[in-house]
A and B are shown apart, each in its own frame.
Chain A
Amino acid sequence: MTRLLSVLIILLVGLVIASLVVGPAPIGPLTSLEALWSGDQTPLALVMREIRLPRALLAVMVGASLGLSGAAMQGYLRNPLAEPGLLGISGSAALGAVLAIQTGLAAGFPLGLPLAALAGALIGVLLITLLAGRQGGTLSLILAGIAISALASALVSLVLNLSPNPFATSEIVFWMMGSLADRSMEHVLLALPFVLLGAALLLTLGRPLDAITLGEDAAEAMGMRVRRVRWRLIIGSALVVGASTAVAGTIGFVGLVVPHLIRPWVGAMPGRLLVSSALGGAAMVLLADIGVRVILPASDLKLGVVTALIGAPLFLHLIYQTRRELA
């Protein structure tokens, strides 16, 4: 376990450095890093501090959020197909963002879009709370998540359908593909408190998630308050996923695939998966975001497209492997 965490941390540091030195501006790696620490007001120092640093920090935050939330969701629901989008939080955050673009709020002031997305996520959580009910079980939680996802998706389609402005329509479509380009430190500071609070809630779930391996009844009899665990999961996931979607758009497959990749290395215990999945998720998003800039530097390749292009084949490989093991 310690060795796995060390490897992931080394990988993450390497990818953060790579992310900082990769960009359209033709600058050498050492010069870039020196400019970052110099504190100068040169154009290069500004590029490093205002463009590349927030981009790398956001990649770490968003990836860690998705990996952590995915691992917690799979552990709680005892289902390897669970992922952060299941609760409908990313869908409702996306709806908030889409409405901000359509109404011109996003163009009105810089943080209009992420704030609207956060408001969308908050409304999504409130709806889940109402639909799933205080006494509701896991099934009602999943059904409420599916209903909210479907409703948010239908409303996004309605906005696109009725949009009189083709520019807003194309902006919405591109935003929904997810990206970390052109983000600033304001985006980092906006998302950071939500991500930290949500991560703190999710990281305390290790022990109950281990117990839930045997089912909710057995976990409850071992002294775990399963209903409290459910609320910590909902609120923690809503905070990290809502904040991530608000600053980066919809980024799929990270929360689904990363826990699968890491599970064999931690003996499959859901509690041990939390920290390692967060680190793995951060590494995957950093890698994909570097890929976005290296593969087609001239085109505005979207991050969500690349994570799906990496994630889907990995997931297919895992399915193939599992099928072969079961045969």
Chain B
Amino acid sequence: MSQLSCRDFTVALGDRPVLEGVNLTIESGELVGLIGPNGAGKTTLMRAALGLIPASGHCSLAGLDDRNRARTVAWMPQDRSVAWPISVEALVMLGRMPHRMPGQRPSAQDHEQVAAAIRQVGLEGFEQRAVTRLSAGERTRALIARALAQQTPMIMADEPIAGLDPAHQITTMQTFAGIADSGRSVLVSLHDLGLAARHCTRLILIGERRVVADGAPVEVLTADNLARIFHIEAFLQSTDHGPVFQSLRVLGP
């Protein structure tokens, strides 16, 4: 079942066109990696699909009102700062907001969903810890739990593994893979093409204001695409451990 579909989707930031005529579909159970160089429009595409910035063309989320959109897709922006020293439990409970009317207290079901989300990201025992006292990796997991508690069929995350150490990067990608395995769909933008190749079921490569390639990692990370869009030469090999990717050198002009 399709969770997100954009057709002929065009976005401009001020006078500058960023994306023109983008077509993409995200199905249930997929972990889709959105890749592309800096400034290609990955964040812009996700924000426009969510309705946070204006766009033209068709997007399946555009027709939804605020509440229904918040019940359809959970958004993890790149900015992972939390303003106040609220507890992990209170942070994750924010994810239940679209399911409660204003002034309504959290129900037993809300508390159950929050506890389940905290368990799923492995933060049991941290419930009362202030978010501002967590490490970057723990905070990312707490924010993923917040998105999980929103109980949406789809999660969009903008560079969720940026700034994390290798162990936390792998754990975070495995958490997203687990979420996709449970039947939800996940769209993540990321720069680490190795992790993208290993963990994502599909990659969408953005460049030159459009979708350059869309398919399995080995079909997208071709030498031609890497040279044309990223200006790099790289090594990519299918192994028993899955695809292994390593950037080798920058190609000259």
CB neighbors of B among A247-281 (8 A):
263, 267-270
- Listed stretches A4-12, A179-187, A194-202, A215-223; interface member: A215-223
Residue from the list A217, A218, A225, A269 in contact with B84, Cβ < 8 A: A269
**In the complex the two chains form, what is the Cα distance from A218 to B52 in whole Å?**
10
Contact A213 B50 (CB under 8 A): no
Quick one: which of B50, B84, B102 has the most chain A CB within 10 A? Answer: B84
Find out whether the CB atom of B146 lies under 8 angstroms from the CB atom of A214: yes
Interface size of B by Cβ–Cβ distance < 8 Å? 31
Which single member of A220, A263, A267 contacts B52 (CB below 8 Å)? A220
Q: Contacts A217-B75, A217-B79 given: A211-B50 contact, CB under 8 Å?
A: no
Contact with A along B70-96 (1 / 0, CB 8 A): 100111110101111111001100100
Which residues of chain A have C-beta atoms less than 8 A from B90's C-beta? 267, 269
Closest to B52 in A: A220
> With a CB–CB cut-off of 8 A, which chain A residues contact B146?
214
**In the assembled complex, B165 has its CB within 8 A of some CB on chain A:** no
Task: Tell me whether B168 is interfacial, beta carbon within 8 Å.
Answer: no
B181 lies within 8 A of chain A by Cβ: no
Inside 8 A of A210's CB, which chain B residues have their CB?
A: 94, 97
Assess whether B47 is interfacial by the CB under 8 Å rule.
yes
State the CA gap A263–B75 with chains docked (Å). 27
- CA distance in complex: A214, B94 (Å): 9
Which residues in A have their C-beta under 8 angstroms from that of B86?
213, 267-269
B94 near A213 (CB under 8 angstroms)?
yes
Q: Residue on A with the closest CB to B73?
A: A221
Query: Closest CB of chain A to B4's CB: distance in Å?
Result: 14
Q: Is the CB of A222 within 8 A of B76?
A: no
Contact of B69 among A213, A217, A223 (CB under 8 A): A223
Take A213-B94, A220-B52 as given contacts and tell me if A268 and B69 are in contact as well, using a CB distance cutoff of 8 Å.
no
* Given known A-B contacts A221-B75, A222-B94, A223-B66, A268 and B102 have beta carbons under 8 A apart: no
Bound CA span A215–B143, Å:
12
Question: Does A78 touch B at the CB level, under 8 Å?
Answer: yes
Q: Please, how many angstroms separate the alpha-carbon atoms of A211 and B75 in the complex? A: 12
Contact in complex: A223, B84 (CB < 8 Å): no
B108-151 near A? 1/0 per residue, CB < 8 Å:
00000000000000000000001000000000000100100010
Q: Would A221 and B94 count as touching, CB distance under 8 A?
A: no
Q: Give Cα distance in the complex from A267 to B86, angstroms.
A: 6
A82 to chain B, nearest CB (A): 11
A263 touches B98 (CB 8 A): no
Interface core residue of A207, A217, A222 (most chain B CB under 10 Å): A222
Residues of A within 8 A of B98 (CB): 222-223
Q: How far is the CA of A214 from the CA of B102 in the complex (A)?
A: 18
CA distance in complex: A212, B146 (Å):
14
Taking the closest CB of chain A, its distance from the CB of B213, in whole angstroms, is 27
Checking A207, A215, A222, A269 against B70 with a beta-carbon cut-off of 8 angstroms, the contacting residue is: A222
Question: How many angstroms from the CA of A79 to the CA of B83 in the assembled complex?
Answer: 7
Residues of B within 8 A of A224 (CB): 66
State the A residues within 8 Å of B (CB): 78-79, 207, 210-215, 217-218, 220-225, 263, 267-270
List residues of chain B with CB under 8 Å of any chain A CB. Answer: 47, 50, 52, 66-67, 69-70, 73-77, 79, 81-87, 90-91, 94, 97-98, 102-103, 130, 143, 146, 150
User: Please, could you name 23 A-B residue pairs with CB atoms under 8 Å apart, sorted by A?
Assistant: A79-B83, A210-B94, A210-B97, A211-B97, A214-B77, A214-B143, A215-B77, A215-B83, A218-B76, A218-B77, A220-B52, A221-B52, A222-B75, A222-B150, A223-B66, A223-B69, A223-B98, A224-B66, A225-B66, A263-B84, A267-B87, A268-B84, A269-B90
The 10 closest A-B pairs by CB, nearest first: A221-B75, A78-B83, A223-B66, A223-B70, A268-B84, A217-B77, A268-B86, A268-B85, A213-B83, A223-B67
